[in-house]
């Protein structure tokens, strides 16, 4: 019987600063066989161990369509994330997973896709965006709307151009507060909605961001004609085990680590709590 609490060892191959407090870590499993057999869905997460400090759930930001490595974007906010941020390349961490349900993928073939991200919330969406773009012919029009508090808080800036230049992709970025160098949009992410063509009937919306952003985005999406089933979002909890046992992530009768972290708005509304 596989011990579900036993972490495998991964090595940090590269570290990229996204913002002042967000870093993207490129890793691979130390055992080549484990890396080779790794398969995951966009939207799933790993439990990342810094031995002696603890374990934290982190969504996978790389796309399963690109092999030989995986990437985790981590904001320095807690004990374990601070410990990870202190590690240089070449260091070893523990990895369990992938866990969670992940985003619908084949289920949204031939649909138009709308991605609405806020801050570090772009990390799980990036996995799906790159997965979709690597399999472009399976999907319709794509719009990516992304907001952050300040220009300095935007993550994956290098990739914005790459995404923009793909056929039939609209990419718009906004910040809550600009600075002297910022010439782009200013305002919350929902102010971008009127700037793109969205046909709600043929579109599925993927929403990821800080808890304060989600209700506003959902409200506007419903106004645009999206339904409870075509709004997909994710929930954050401190999932300590990742396997539906420790009890910390329960909302109503749902375990965010097993039933989620991806939920449709319909599922979220049905949570009794």
Partner 1 sequence: MSRYEENLWVITRDNLFALMDVFIKTREVIAPVRGHGGEVIFYPIESIDDVAWDWQYVNAVLPPKRFFLPQTEIMFEYSFDNGYRITPRYDDQVRMIFGIRPCDVNALIFLDRFFGGGSVSKKAPYEEPLFPDSHYIKRRANTFIIAFGCHQPGENCFCICCESGPFLEEDYDLQLTSMNGGYAVEVGSARGLKIIYGNEHFFRLASSNEVEELGRIKEDAVNKFRDTCAYMSKAIRRVTEGKVDNSLWEKLGERCLDCGGCSYVCPTCCCYNVVDTPLAEKSGIRTRTWDSCAFAGFTRIAGGEILRSDKTDRLKRRFFHKLSYQYIQKNKRHGCVGCGRCITTCLADINMPLVVESIRKQ
Closer residue to partner 1, CB minimum distance, 23 or 141: 23
Closer residue to partner 1, CB minimum distance, 53 or 186: 53
Measured between its terminal Cα atoms, the distance across the chain in Å is 35
Task: Write down the least CB distance from residue 31 to partner 1, Å.
Answer: 11
What is the full DSSP assignment across 90-148? T-EEEEEEEES-----GGGTTSEEEEEEEGGGHHHHHHHHHHHHHTGGG---EEEEEEE
Cis peptide before 83 (omega within 30 of 0): no
Task: Write down the least CB distance from residue 125 to partner 1, Å.
Answer: 19
Task: Write down the least CB distance from residue 269 to partner 1, Å.
Answer: 12
Closer residue to partner 1, CB minimum distance, 161 or 212: 212
For residue 79, the Cα-to-chain-centroid distance in whole angstroms is 21
3-class DSSP state of 192: helix
Task: Write down the least CB distance from residue 224 to partner 1, Å.
Answer: 29
Closer residue to partner 1, CB minimum distance, 54 or 152: 54
Closer residue to partner 1, CB minimum distance, 204 or 257: 257
**Phi, psi angles (nearest 5°) of residue 217:** -65, -45
Closer residue to partner 1, CB minimum distance, 223 or 238: 238
For residue 257, the Cα-to-chain-centroid distance in whole angstroms is 14
- CA dist., res. 234 & res. 221, Å (int): 16
Task: Write down the least CB distance from residue 84 to partner 1, Å.
Answer: 11
> Tokens at residue 186, please?
């200013």
Interface residues with partner 1 (CB under 8 A)?
1-7, 9, 30, 49, 51-56, 77-81, 92, 94, 236-238, 240-241, 243-248, 250, 252-253, 258, 272-273
> Tokens at residue 127, please?
């996995």
For residue 115, the Cα-to-chain-centroid distance in whole angstroms is 11
Closer residue to partner 1, CB minimum distance, 200 or 249: 249
Whether 70 contacts 34, CB under 8 Å: no
Task: Write down the least CB distance from residue 77 to partner 1, Å.
Answer: 4
Task: Write down the least CB distance from residue 69 to partner 1, Å.
Answer: 19
């Amino acid at each position: 019987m596989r011990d579900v609490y036993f972490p495998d060892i991964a090595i940090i191959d590269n570290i990229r600063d996204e913002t002042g407090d967000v870093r993207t870590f490129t890793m691979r499993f130390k055992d080549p066989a484990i890396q080779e057999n790794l398969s995951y869905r966009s939207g799933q997460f790993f439990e990342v161990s810094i031995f002696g400090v603890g374990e934290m759930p982190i969504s996978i930001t790389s796309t399963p369509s690109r092999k030989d490595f995986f990437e985790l974007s981590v904001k320095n906010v807690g004990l374990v994330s601070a410990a990870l941020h202190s590690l240089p390349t070449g260091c070893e961490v523990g990895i369990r997973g992938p866990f969670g349900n992940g985003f619908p993928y084949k289920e949204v073939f031939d649909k138009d896709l709308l991605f609405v991200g806020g801050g570090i919330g772009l990390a799980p969406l990036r996995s799906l965006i790159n997965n979709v773009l690597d399999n472009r012919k399976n999907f319709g029009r794509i719009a990516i709307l992304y907001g952050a508090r300040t220009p300095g808080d935007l993550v994956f800036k290098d990739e914005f151009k790459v995404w923009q230049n793909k056929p039939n992709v609209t990419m718009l970025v906004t910040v809550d507060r600009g600075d002297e160098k910022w010439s782009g949009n200013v305002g919350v992410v929902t102010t971008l909605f009127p700037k793109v063509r969205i046909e709600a009937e043929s579109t599925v919306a993927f929403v990821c961001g800080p808890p304060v952003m989600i209700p506003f985005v959902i409200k506007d999406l419903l106004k645009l004609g999206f339904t409870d089933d075509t709004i997909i979002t994710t929930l954050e909890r401190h999932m300590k085990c990742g396997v539906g046992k420790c009890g910390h992530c329960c909302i109503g009768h749902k375990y965010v680590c097993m039933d989620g972290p991806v939920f449709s708005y319909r599922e979220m509304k049905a949570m009794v709590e």
